[in-house]
Structure 1
Amino acid sequence: MAVINRDPLTAPHALRNDALLAVVAAALAVALALFVDDGRRPDALGWALLLACHVPLAWRRRRPLLVLLAIVVCVAPYHALDNTHTAPTPAAYIALYTVAVTGRPLRTVLVGVGVITLSTGVMLTVSAHEALRVLQISGWVVAVLFCGADVRFYRQYVASIVERAERAERTREEEARRRVAEERLRIARDLHDLLAHSITLIGVQTSVAAHVLSADPERLDRETVAKALDDIAETCRSARGELRTTLEVLREHGTPDVRGPLPGLGGLPDLAEAARLAGARVEQTVRIRQAPPAVGAAAYRIVQEALTNAVRHAGPEPAVRVDLVEREGALHLSVSDDGTGPAPGGTPGFGIVGMRERARTVGGTLDAGPRADGGFEVTAVLPLTMTGATGEGTG
């Protein structure tokens, strides 16, 4: 089966194998010439022509038509001299099979018609009886050609199956690489949001404690310092727990899609309280009954990043308003502040880019920029029907 399935043009050791085949066919031809009474026994010229017709078989894969033509050139005078007609038959059949197995069907048909016609014409020079006999056994020629064409079609069928299997394997590998890339991007966004939010709050709370310690060392407000330190500890604990949930997916040995619980709209009050502890004056309005988990997670992360940016860039004690409203089958989200915004000429970060990516993962849109009356605003529209959208798991 390996020989049948293998492409003859790319088979290993083709020249060596074909040379051995030519030797075996020549030995068989000599035996037929010696022991079969089908014409007279070859003389010196007949033996020379009979052996010479087997030499081209060593190159039958590379030039099948030229090999067949060379065999015909040797066999035609051999038959015309009325030597044993059966002897060169194996070499002729091997050449015909090679033409059929390596060529197109039209070429195979034309070669078969040409060989039968030429053989009949050569035998007519010997006798009409021999010509009639060639016509009678021409079915063997057709059978050899049909066998070669059938093997060719079978090889094409096997090659197409192998090609489809390889393409399917490549597709699976590409899909796996795509999912790995998406997972890495998801984790990078989560880590950015978590660390940026937590570190910003810790920085603000640390500044409060440092200010209290340095403002009036003689009249130290221990209660304020203790509260600031407690807020820092609480922020660290919260960040540590969320960070552990996010990174558990990297240690997961079971199903790759097993992830921690998604943050959702229920966590928005905690975000607002954390921003208040950092000095922001936060007003929050949530008028939505229920949202899909992926949409709730995206909204949570967008609000988290927007509040982080407000605390970081809006100046001291900014007034921040957070609105989430369900309208026309979508969640309309808005986070606005009255601060000064980021300093001009500063190095842009990945916060707004990450928020836009989160909105796109659930099929939504996001805009962010300065407001006409001062301050900065982030608005997003997230569809509540997840048709065709890619939900995102967030640790």
Structure 2
Amino acid sequence: MQATTPTASRPGVGERIIAVINRDPRAAPHGTRNDAVLAAVLFAGAACLALFTDDGSRPDPAGWALLLAGHAPLLGRRHRPLLTLCLVAVPIAAFHALDYNHSAPVPATMVALYSIATTGTVRRTLVSGALVIGVGLTMNGLTNPEGMIELLRITGWVVAVLFCGIDVRFYRQYVASIVERAERAERTREEEARRRVAEERLRVARDLHDLLAHSITLIGVQTSVAAHVLTADPERLDRTAVAKALDDIAETCRSARGELRTTLEVLRAQDAAAVPDARGPLPGLSALPDLAESARLAGADVDLSVRADDVPPAVGAAVYRITQEALTNAVRHAGPKPSVRVEVHTERGALRLSVTDDGTGPDPSGTPGFGLVGMRERARSVGGTLDAGPREDADGFEVTAVLPTPATPLTTTTTITSERTG
């Protein structure tokens, strides 16, 4: 049995009327067709009033022509309301002046006035209404000088229609402003969502770069060490050195695999609440000795000095990643067995990181990478700054970062010092 697809229910009569009221008449679909139908209906109503009421004489052929000429301009009431009113007023005024049925053309005149009130400014509406009242009072004074009640009735209808049109116009503007604010809010939400996606992609790219670049560099250096030991003197092979180099490679691979798995778990999670502890604790200052030891295994001579405490986790993670990338660059570009000094200490309201080496630095003619860009982005992510470039007073490369952090009392400062090792 084939399932039936539910169809959307059609809006009710009341909903459609409200939609018509809320909509700008100049943007309504099939506006000209609807106005043609409206003009025909009004002309039919005017004909009935002219035939079956005693408010003046019945029209002759000239009167019917004037009555038709007073209804035909309503086809352009949406886009040319003022011109429409003028074209309606001329034959209607002649119709009244010839003392034909005075009630017959009133609905067409009111529709023309309503169109001006709903599409024009308040000033134009009031001026148009005053002119219509003046013409109406003049015609009534010429044809029926003693009809004071008729004068009041004409004036009351004109004022009522004008104020009704002005009210509808203001209501439409209010609804349009609400819709515009809603659309603006939706666009803002979409832009915010796109910005968050872009920031998340950038963060993931930085994480993967820091992780893979560091690990692959260490694996490359350790592999070169193992290859050198194997080929240096095959007859006097140092199996212990080869085994240690291979163990270091395996340990680096395991560490990289663990960090990569953690990152991928976060990426695969549909909701951050689904894996609240997927990433585990952020790496911080306490993990800097492990970075220094990894760089030493790759052949660098690292001197690490950390004098800081009570650092926010985000700042500690930024220091860790910047140091990781700086050590990776030193191992890769500073030449064989570079000397690297890493200093981390607190200042008044800030944490300063300095990583210097005595190598040659990156090759300016080489392909630029993303390491320096990633380090600067890391520093900016916590409101800090980072400078990187050749040292001014000596050979080598220097990376300096200043990251804002609450001031740390000197009495609670913890010092982690790692001396150079060969």
TM-score (norm 2): 0.88
Match of 2:353 among 323, 333, 338: 333
C-alpha RMSD over aligned residues: 1.6
Amino acid at match of 2:283: P
Q: Is the 8 A contact 1:123 1:131 kept in 2?
A: no
Partners of 1:119 and 1:132 lie apart in 2 by 13
Query: What residue in structure 1 maps to residue 129 of structure 2?
Result: 112
Q: Give the C-alpha shift of residue 343 in structure 1.
A: 3.5
What's the counterpart of residue 390 of structure 1? none
What is the aligned partner in structure 2 of residue 157 from structure 1? 174
Does the C-alpha gap of structure 1 residues 132 and 378 become closer, same or farther in structure 2, counting only changes over 3 Å? same
Shift of 1:51: 2.3
- Equivalent position of 2:369 in the other structure: 349
Matching residue within 275, 279, 300 for 1:260: 279
CA distance in 2, matches of 1:129, 1:72: 23
Are residues 1:244 and 2:261 paired?
yes
CA–CA distance in 1 between the matches of 2:122 and 2:58?
37
Distance 1:136 1:129 in 2: 14
**How many residues in Structure 1 have an aligned counterpart in Structure 2?**
386
* Contact 1:206/1:232, CA 8 A, preserved across alignment: yes
1:379 to 388, 393, 400: 400
| 1:181 lines up with 2:202 in the alignment | no
After superposition, give the CA deviation of every residue in 1:229-257 in whole Å (9 maximum; x if it has no partner).
00000000101111112222221111389
What are the residue-to-residue correspondences of 1:1-395 with 2, within 5 Å? 1-130=18-147, 133-255=150-272, 260-261=279-280, 262-371=282-391, 372-385=393-406
1:76, distance to aligned residue in structure 2 (A) = 1.0
Deviation at 1:269, TM superposition (A): 1.2
SS in 2 for 1:53: helix
* Distance across 2 between alignment mates of 1:38 and 1:369: 98
Native 8 Å contact 1:318 1:339 kept in 2: yes
The change in CA–CA distance for 1:278 and 1:16 in structure 2 (over 3 A counts) is same
| Residue-by-residue CA offset, 1:261-299 (whole Å, 9 max, x unaligned) | 322112111101101111111111111112111101110
**Which deviations, in whole Å up to 9, do the C-alpha atoms of 1:364-385 show, x marking residues without a partner?**
1111222222222211111114
Return 281-290 or 205-214, whichever deviates more: 281-290
One-letter amino acid of the counterpart of residue 80, structure 1: A
| Cross-structure match for 1:389 | none
Three-state SS of the structure 2 residue aligned to 1:56 is helix
Q: Tell me the distance in 2 between the aligned counterparts of 1:253 and 1:343.
A: 42
Separation of aligned partners in 2, 1:153 and 1:344: 66
Q: For 1:304 and 1:30, how far apart are their aligned partners in 2?
A: 92
Q: Deviations over 1:127-150 (max 9, x none)?
A: 312476224431110000111111
Q: After TM superposition, give the deviation of residue 195 of structure 1 in Å.
A: 1.1
Displacement after TM superposition at 1:341 (Å): 2.3
Q: Which moved more, 1:316-325 or 1:299-308?
A: 316-325
Query: 2:213 is paired with a residue of what secondary structure?
Result: helix
**Of 258-267 and 311-320, the range deviating more from structure 2:** 258-267
Q: 1:178 to 1:102 in 2, by over 3 A?
A: same
Identity of aligned residues (%): 70
SS of 1:286's equivalent? strand
d(CA) in 2 for partners of 1:297 and 1:350?
18
Deviations 1:161-220 (A, max 9, x none): 111111110111111111111111111111111111111100110001000110111111
- Match of 2:86, SS? helix
Contact 1:79 1:85 (8 Å CA) reproduced: yes
Name the SS of the counterpart of 1:324 in structure 2.
Answer: strand
Report if aligned partners of 1:120, 1:135 keep a CA contact under 8 Å in 2: no
Paired residues of 1:284 and 1:322 also in contact (CA < 8 A): yes
Distance 2:159 2:364 in 1: 86
| 2:302 partner SS | strand
In 2: Cα distance, 1:327 partner to 1:365 partner: 14
Structure 2, unpaired ranges of 5+ = 1-17, 408-422
Which residue number in structure 1 is paired with residue 420 of structure 2? Answer: none
For 2:266 and 2:174, the matched residues in 1 are separated by 43
Local SS of the residue matching 1:54? helix
* Aligned-partner residue type, residue 101 of structure 2: T
Equivalent residue number for residue 4 of structure 2: none
The answer to whether the 8 Å contact 2:133/2:154 transfers is: no
Compared CA separation, residues 280 and 102, structure 1 to 2 (3 A) = same
Q: Which runs of 5+ in 1 are unaligned?
A: 387-395
- Distance (Å, rounded) in 2 between the aligned partners of 1:98 and 1:344: 73
The answer to which of 270-279 and 31-40 deviates more is 31-40
- TM-score, scaled to structure 1: 0.94
